[in-house]
Amino acid sequence: MFSKGAPKNMFLLKQKNLSSTTTRSYYDIINNMREYSLKVGYIVENPNAKIDKPKKSKTDIHYYTPEEVEKLVSVFQLGSIKYQAIILLVLDLSCRREKLTGLTWADVDFDAEKVQINAATQYAYCEIFEKVLKLQMVKEYILFLKPHLNYLRNNKKNH
């Protein structure tokens, strides 16, 4: 029943213009089902063994030039401290969006000039949830650039 499907299934996945991550996930699900079927005796061989696992595609890393960073900072200095803080944190911390949006003022240690990442947010089911990070990740500290830290310190007092 399954023995002739692997190459055809992978061909169909490639035809749908799915990301390499999605294609690899589908491959893993199909392969796991076939490995289980092999284990319990429903099939005599796993046809996925005849094909290579899809490769993860290389992505170009996009980054801001110093001029773009300067322009970005100058534009956001006109706006809310909330957005200014987000931009400065993104530039300094290089952390993922989920961790960045989980930060509070209590996470910023102005004296030690660092940020402790304790929580993250996650968007699911049309809602935003805060999740506490796993114990080994709680001690994640990131140092600030001094000019940005001073800017945030001065503006925190005003809000």
Residues 131 and 98 in one domain: yes
Residues 70 and 45 in one domain: no
The confidence score (pLDDT) of residue 33 equals: 93
Residues 16 and 46 in one domain: yes
In a domain, 56, yes or no: no
Contacts (Cβ under 8 Å, ≥6 apart) of 71: none
27 sits in the region (left: phi over 0; alpha: psi -120 to 50; else beta) called alpha
Residues 46 and 71 in one domain: no
Where the chain has pLDDT below 70, the residues are 1-16, 133-145, 157-159
The confidence score (pLDDT) of residue 45 equals: 92
Provide the number of structural domains found in the chain.
2
Measured CA distances, 99 to 9, 47, 62, 132, 147 (Å): 37, 41, 20, 10, 22
Residues 74 and 144 in one domain: yes
- The residue range of the domain holding 43 is 6-50
Residues 87 and 148 in one domain: yes
The confidence score (pLDDT) of residue 115 equals: 78
CA-based nearest residue to 104, from 85, 123, 90: 85
